[in-house]
Amino acid sequence: MNDPALHAAPLPALLAIRALAFGYAGDPLFQGLTLALRPGQALVLNGGNGSGKSTLLRLLAGLLDPDEGGVERAVEADGEPVALAWLGHALGLKPALTVAENLAFGACLYPRRGRMGRDPALAAVGLDGFAAVPVRELSAGQRKRVALARLLLVDAPVWLLDEPYANLDPEGCRLVDRLVDHQLRGGGAVVLSVHRAGQAGFAGPRQVLDLQGAA
């Protein structure tokens, strides 16, 4: 904090939202939204049901196109935009496949592996020894943990998490906090949505975007 050079040249943003506008059927949900997300920072989207948290996350992920403005991603050394990792309400797991098969497929969609292997990642989410179990035999909370483990397997500087705390017991919520902090410490960024501001218990620096006012 005492280094003046650090303040003079802030790290370039991993994700920049510029004058973003979006609405369903002419009913504007956001207008002129401008934000920059730097490495090591989290953006917490706070708002009730229907306030546009998921919509904003989908816009950031490129799953929706904005009406105006845009979302810009930093560019890696190889010329590709930084990779995004997505965790939505639907977890993207195949019930008929085992935990290991699901994770292997998820990891293969990314050109670079994360620092963690499969077994350490499973241990980190508390699913030690579940690698050969079909996902259909897991509970909703355990499935969510598998999806969280998938985040650890890939090298994606930006995580987009839609209500990561939903369906989890208090211990699971602390697990999400630990993972978010792990990602922030590693120089990544996280955007996550919550429906109660107090839910996000991680330690890292954050910006909070209150969407109730915007709706």
Partner 1 sequence: MRALFALLLRDLRLASRRRFDLLQPLFFALLVCLLVALAVGPEPALLARLAPAVNWIALLLALLLALDTLFRPDAEDGSLEQMMVAPAPLPVLAVARVTAFWATAALPLILAAPLFAVMLRLPATDLPLLMLTQLLATPTLAWIGAICAALTVHAGRGGALLALLLLPLAVPVLILAVGTLDAGRQGLPVLPPLLLLGAGLVAACSAGPFVCAAALRLGLR
Which tokens hold the place of 176? 């999400």
Q: Which residues ranging from 3 to 32 are in contact with partner 1 (CB under 8 A)?
A: none
User: What pairs with residue 161 in β-bridges?
Assistant: 87, 192
Which region among 3-11, 61-69, 123-131, 192-200 touches partner 1 (by CB under 8 A)?
61-69
Residues 6+ apart with CB under 8 A from 159: 84, 85, 87, 151, 180, 183, 188, 189, 190, 191, 192
Cβ 45 to partner 1, closest distance in Å?
A: 17
Token pair belonging to 67: 């009406």
CB of 96 to partner 1, least distance (A): 5
Tokens 């969510």 — which residue?
144
Listed ranges 42-50, 80-88, 163-171, 174-182: which one lies at the site for partner 1 (CB under 8 A) = 80-88
Give the number of other CB atoms < 10 A from CB of residue 129: 10
Q: Which is nearer to partner 1, 63 or 208 (CB)?
A: 63
Instruction: Give the contact letters, 84-113, x = binds to partner 1 (CB under 8 A), - = no.
Output: xxx-xxxxxxxxxx---x--xxx-xxxx--
CA gap 203, 192 in Å, rounded: 14
Contacting residue, 6, 11, 63, 203, with partner 1 by CB under 8 A: 63
Q: Closer to partner 1 at the Cβ: 19 or 109?
A: 109
Binding window for partner 1 (CB under 8 A); candidates: 26-34, 79-87, 171-179, 196-204: 79-87
Cβ at position 10, least distance to partner 1 in Å: 26
Q: Which is nearer to partner 1, 65 or 128 (CB)?
A: 65
- The answer to whether residue 80 forms part of the interface with partner 1 (CB under 8 A) is yes
In the region spanning residues 140 to 199, those forming contacts with partner 1, defined by CB under 8 A, are 160
- Closest approach, Cβ 4 to partner 1, in A, equals 37
**Least distance between partner 1 and beta carbon 105 (Å):** 5
- The contact set with partner 1 (CB under 8 A) reads 61-65, 80, 83-86, 88-97, 101, 104-106, 108-111, 160
